[in-house]
Amino acid sequence: MVNPLIYHKQGWIEVITGCMFSGKTEELIRRVRTALIAKQKVQLFNSKIDTRYGIDSITSHNQNKVAASCVKNSSEILQLVEKDTQVVAIDEVNFFDKGIVDVCEQLANKGKRVIVAGLDTDYRAEPFEVTAALLAKAEFVTKNLAVCTKCGNPASFTQRTSKDTKRIVVGTTDAYQARCRRCYKKPKIK
């Protein structure tokens, strides 16, 4: 994917995005494991909001996991990244405050490979602002699709199945399904 001869000692931002159940975290973990095989120093971060699978790891829906530091906000990441770290991975970037965009840029400008994964849109099909900003600033973008739970077509929408109207509700199959454009039903918000 990335030619290390071109990007030697130069940082960059990679964004892995898509709807729920599209394999974003799985891809983040795959890239991290590849960096570890290459003997690169990696640090991983997740938001304290995401407590689905514990607070000391990044865990995919398939239960693949890697150890991570959980932080309350984006500024904590800058404080925790060590000088000799080569790769910084951040999962559920959509849970972070808007400062995460500047954090990612600062890290990339310091020569670090920054890999982030997160939802591109919420359950109303509205863009998450931090993900949209990172998509515009990233050197590499991967948009994953899931499989529609209704018809089996490629899915790019996240359908909330609960009645909750808060923008962020942490959940898995108990609260969300992947849907294609045809099967997705935009919720009526009162």
What whole-number distance in Å separates Cα of residue 152 and Cα of residue 149?
Answer: 6
**Residue 92 annotated to the active site:** yes
H helix runs in 45-171, sequence order: 74-80, 99-109, 129-137
Residue 34 has phi, psi (to 5 degrees) of: -65, -40
- Please check whether residue 178 is in contact with residue 148, taking contact to mean a CB–CB distance below 8 angstroms: yes
Which member of 26, 92, 129, 139 is catalytic?
92
Which amino acid makes up residue 41? Answer: K
User: Tokens in use for 113?
Assistant: 């490979």
What whole-number distance in Å separates Cα of residue 80 and Cα of residue 90?
Answer: 13
Nearest alpha carbon to residue 121 among 99, 146, 102: 146
Q: Which residues contact 13 (CB under 8 A, 6 or more apart)?
A: 104, 105, 108, 114, 116, 134, 137, 138, 139, 140
Q: What amino acid positions are annotated as catalytic residues?
A: 92
